[in-house]
Chains A and B, each alone.
Chain A
């Protein structure tokens, strides 16, 4: 598995090839469509991250010092953004996640989605992932 920083750099590289907002959003929407569906079992309040307008569910599994994440949303753009975040953090160790700095979202021109006042739950999801990692630190 690549480390978190190089995965982020790959995304920054990918997005630099996209010319305008339409292409960037088309790319995100495509990512959203390909995000593996979360098991319906986990689409409950227990796994839900309150995000006001679009709902986000996050499930994780911990095995051999590795965290596995899956997530879903009812909104496709949120789903695409989630797919990016999952790709960055999935199959990493709690240590790596806890100390990682998430800096790629602003760099790919989607920083507006990160604001805590933005009603998409993306920011809360990143906080949640960090929190899960912190709980699994040795």
Chain B
């Protein structure tokens, strides 16, 4: 019998019960949480882990011989193992814990920059990036006297593949590119882009902040040199990020922050540094949240993932169908392959006003520039309204959202 035959089908009502916050009300209305791209809600198992850890097992990691320190350290390192499997890394020490995607990218921009980028070298950044994967590279380029180049996009919000070969030269040291655009939803064609970058000897950093909750990641199959994500977008706690880097690269990079945990020996004259991954994990880490991220991974691993993805894809199709039926509404970002989010503007209506009125109806969406001002400039808009879905959303919520959006537009016109 095929495994899929015995798998339970995706049971949305049961799933929703796993996320306590989904039962709450906002302004007297049932919460409709469509801001998942900004941050995802947490299943109860994650909350329980935090509670249990602090009330039963808490101690610092990597330092004590005592019982609790052992338990903490084991649980902490277990998340590293789980992540290794989750993203398909070859070695566990290729997984570095940081504070978030932003922190991971800054680490790479600084340390890879110091080791590998020099005057006149080029840094190529895709035109779809969140400020977090743009500004650190601007600063890196300034510091290293390197040249920052941008891979342009088309009116659909897809990257212009024809321009890529022209932008990749033997001077290109790194390509920084998102797997999925947070502002438009575009899923980039990494499978075809990464080999082109490698052909000229450039390394590739993939920003997986938006893809991680919607696609299976396999960093080895992608052959990404660096890959980052944030726990909070993956149904885990805030304050934890992941940096994956190929071992030889991480080893060749200088240390980032310094202090405890990242050292081997310290003398007043000089110190020697610890091995990976601890080399990049100075100080007491975010122990409890890393452990709770492990529970988020457990939750996802036990989920009917294919069912969940099919469910959110259907919801998104219905959402876009509904949006297209609204007069004067324009979807910003019409790539063929999109994550389940829709950015849009409505003629004569400011996105801020939409956000305020929808909030009154219990609906949480994001409005503004989504930390991607160059993208807004490209489309000639000051900002958009963005509805972003997760597998725990429902068709009834999509219907209510569309109805509420029409009501808001009527009030504003």
Contact = CB atoms under 8 A, between A and B. Distances in A.
Contact of A22 (B351, B352, B353, B411): B411
Interface in A70-89: 74-78
Contacts of B383: 53
A21 B358 CA distance: 12
A78 B357 CA distance: 12
Most chain A Cβ neighbours within 10 Å, of B357, B383, B412: B412
Contacts of A25: 356-357, 360, 411
A21 B360 contact: yes
A78 B350 CA distance: 10
Interface string A14-46: 000000011001100100000000000000000
B260 interface: no
Contacts, number: 40
Given A25-B411, A76-B412, A54 B350 contact: yes
Nearest to A51: B352
Given A25-B356, A25-B360, 6 more contacts: A53-B355, A54-B352, A75-B353, A76-B350, A77-B356, A119-B352
B27 interface: yes
B115 interface: no
A76 B352 CA distance: 9
A48 B371 CA distance: 21
Contacts of B352: 53-54, 75, 77-78, 119-120
Contacts of A77: 352-353, 356-357
B310 to A, nearest CB: 35
Interface string A48-78: 0000111000000000000000000011111
Contacts of A78: 352-353
Contacts of B355: 53
A29 B382 contact: no
B411 A29 contact: yes
Contacts of B350: 54, 74-76
B367 interface: yes
B27 A26 contact: no
Nearest to A113: B356
Most chain A Cβ neighbours within 10 Å, of B356, B360, B367: B356
23 contacts: A21-B27, A21-B360, A22-B360, A22-B411, A29-B353, A52-B368, A53-B351, A53-B352, A53-B355, A53-B383, A54-B350, A54-B352, A74-B382, A75-B350, A75-B353, A76-B349, A76-B350, A76-B412, A77-B352, A77-B353, A77-B357, A119-B368, A120-B352
B389 to A, nearest CB: 22
A74 B357 CA distance: 16
A76 B353 contact: yes
Nearest to B27: A21
Contacts of A54: 350, 352-353
B412 A29 contact: yes
A29 B412 CA distance: 7
Contacts of B368: 52-53, 119
B355 to A, nearest CB: 8
Interface in A111-125: 119-120
A12 B85 CA distance: 60
A78 B360 CA distance: 15
A119 B355 CA distance: 11
Contacts of B27: 21
Contacts of B411: 22, 25-26, 29
Contacts of A29: 353, 411-412
For the complex of A and B, the 6 pairs showing the least CB-CB separation, nearest first, are: A75-B350, A75-B352, A54-B352, A53-B352, A77-B353, A53-B368
Contacts of A76: 349-350, 353, 412
A24 to B, nearest CB: 9
Interface in B369-413: 382-383, 411-412
Contacts of A75: 350, 352-353
B408 to A, nearest CB: 9
A25 B356 CA distance: 10
A26 B349 CA distance: 14
Most chain B Cβ neighbours within 10 Å, of A52, A54, A120: A54
Contacts of A26: 411
Contacts of A119: 352, 368
B356 to A, nearest CB: 5
A52 B350 CA distance: 13
